[in-house]
């Protein structure tokens, strides 16, 4: 069985875990491990594994940058979009080390065109075969990913900010539908639908390679948006008559909150507002969000604000003061402090950086 992470990385992890068991401090281990690699993600991952091994109910949280650092055979764009094409002959276990639960800080979509796949999502194991779509939200935890020798398929990974930007003006799915997708994230495809989605992915891959194209980013964004809309249509048409009008209340509250956040995040920044709209207490809303996603309501609000900030700052016609006003900050200085806290860069520097790109 081959692992998603290299043997070298796992040796580092095992070494560091043994030192932890011996009582050696994190600071000392950090210094010892830093000599192995210039990749800071390796070091962070080591400590993530430590949390998995020694804290109950913990899950490894990985970013797209982490995935790219592990040398996958993939095509990627600006560390925000990855397409991995899997073949059973090359990968017996492309994704996860056995027993380790992982949550990607991204949207993750698998398209199975041929063969079989076993995957455990939120402690429920699915056995999937030809022409299946697996839509893993960033709140799902995944482990024990194995494929058959004749497997052929694709793994599309989209950074959350990019996903929000692409789907900003698209028609939103009903909350009850989204709730049902959370509880069962798989969809059977017919051959025509499988071919359609595969062709969409091939077009994205080709445009990722067209680095000299003056409008490469726009082409990639259009193709990616087209894939997501085709996927949403297939899943929606197949399930619109089967969605229960009364899904589990916690699931429904979760996705009603997400929809409220998408609608009001520019102007409403308090937990009490969203709890009030849902007719529940702020404490209950916080418990629900923490149990489902591992993040607090304030973290959800901050992340949504940052996504909106980046979208608005990319507009050359908007000043930073105008962006601060649109996001309901008291003044430009407050907005600047908030943005720099979460992005380690000032709004002005971000705006200039985007203009250069």
Instruction: Give pLDDT tens digits for 79-95.
Output: 889 998 887 755 444 44
pTM for the predicted model, two decimal places = 0.57
How many CA atoms lie less than 13 Å away from 240 in the CB half-sphere? 7
Q: What is the dihedral of CA 320, 323, 325, 331, to 10 degrees?
A: -40
In the predicted structure, residue 52 carries a pLDDT above the cut 50: no
C-alpha–C-alpha distance, residues 235 and 238, integer Å: 5
More confident residue, 30 or 279: 279
Query: What's the whole-number mean pLDDT along residues 60-64?
Result: 63
Could you state, in order of their start, the residue ranges of all structural domains in the chain? Answer: 7-58, 69-239, 249-356
In the predicted structure, residue 145 carries a pLDDT above the cut 60: yes
- Quote the pLDDT of residue 226: 94
Question: What is the chain's mean pLDDT, rounded?
Answer: 75
Domain 69-239 in CATH 3.40.190.10 = no
More confident residue, 274 or 28: 274
| CATH code of the domain occupying 249-356 | 1.10.10.60
C-alpha–C-alpha distance, residues 25 and 35, integer Å: 17
C-alpha–C-alpha distance, residues 228 and 192, integer Å: 16
- Quote the pLDDT of residue 169: 65
In the predicted structure, residue 163 carries a pLDDT above the cut 80: yes
**Cross-strand pairs, 152:** 87, 114
C-alpha–C-alpha distance, residues 297 and 159, integer Å: 20
């Amino acid at each position: 069985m081959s692992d998603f992470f290299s043997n070298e990385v796992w040796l580092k992890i095992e070494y560091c875990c043994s030192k932890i068991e011996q009582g050696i401090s994190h600071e000392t281990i950090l210094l010892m491990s830093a000599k192995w690699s210039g990749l800071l993600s390796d070091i962070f991952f080591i400590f993530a594994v430590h949390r998995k091994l020694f804290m109950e109910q913990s899950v490894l949280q990985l970013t797209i940058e982490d995935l790219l650092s592990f040398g996958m055979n993939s095509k990627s764009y600006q560390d925000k979009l990855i397409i991995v094409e899997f073949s059973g002959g090359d990968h017996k276990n492309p994704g996860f080390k056995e027993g380790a639960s992982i949550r990607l800080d991204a949207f993750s979509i698998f398209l199975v065109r041929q063969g079989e796949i076993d995957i455990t999502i939120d402690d429920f194991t699915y056995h999937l075969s030809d022409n299946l779509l697996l839509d893993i939200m960033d709140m799902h935890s995944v482990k024990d990913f194995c494929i058959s020798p004749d497997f052929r398929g694709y793994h599309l990974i989209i950074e959350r900010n990019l996903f929000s930007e692409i789907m900003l003006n698209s028609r939103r799915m009903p909350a009850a539908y989204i709730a049902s997708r959370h509880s069962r994230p798989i969809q059977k495809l017919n051959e025509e639908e499988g071919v359609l989605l595969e062709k969409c992915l091939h077009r994205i891959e080709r445009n990722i390679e067209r680095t000299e194209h003056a409008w490469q980013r726009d082409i990639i964004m259009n193709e990616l948006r087209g894939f997501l809309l085709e996927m949403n249509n297939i899943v929606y048409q197949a399930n619109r008559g089967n969605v229960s009008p009364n899904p589990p209340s916690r699931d429904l509250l979760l996705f009603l909150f997400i929809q409220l956040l998408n609608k009001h995040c520019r102007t409403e920044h308090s937990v009490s507002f969203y709890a009030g709209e849902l007719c529940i207490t702020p404490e209950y809303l916080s418990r629900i969000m923490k149990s489902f996603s591992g993040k607090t309501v304030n973290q959800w609000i901050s992340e949504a604000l940052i996504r909106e900030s980046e979208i608005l700052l990319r507009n050359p016609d908007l000043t930073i003061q105008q962006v601060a006003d649109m996001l309901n900050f008291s003044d430009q200085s407050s907005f600047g402090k908030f943005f720099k806290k979460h992005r380690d860069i000032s709004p002005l520097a971000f705006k200039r950086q985007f203009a250069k790109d």
